[in-house]
Amino acid sequence: MKPLMRELIIADNVHGESGLDGPALPEPSFAPQSGNAVELMAKTLRESAQPVTIVSTGPQTNVALLLNSHPELHTKIARIVIMGGRDGAG
């Protein structure tokens, strides 16, 4: 996914080439999921019996696309917690 308003800026000088350089992470214990992040969030919201808190880090494009493409699901969101993005330049 690309940012909605400008080209993506990667801070690899801070986070390394992979975005997670530094910590020693274990190998995943499950296979990659099919589909994309927006459809996975929509599926999770649809299937949840309770409102969901979305914790979004970095660019907010996936949250914006979720709300634009599935506006009926906004009632399934308890709150959105954001760590990232930029005010006025997104």
How confident is the model over 79-89, as pLDDT tens digits?
A: 999 987 565 55
The per-residue pLDDT for 88 is: 59
Q: Is residue 9 part of a domain?
A: no
Q: At what angle do helices 37-47 and 61-69 cross, to 10 degrees?
A: 60
Domain count, the chain: 1
**Global pTM?**
0.66
Segment 26-54 mean pLDDT: 93
* Residue with more model confidence, 71 or 18: 71
Domain holding 52, by residue range, is 36-90
Whether 73 is covered by a domain: the verdict is yes
Do residues 56 and 81 touch, judged by C-beta distance below 8 A? yes
Residue 81 lies in a domain: yes
pLDDT digits (tens, 9 = 90+) for 7-29: 877 777 777 777 777 777 789 89
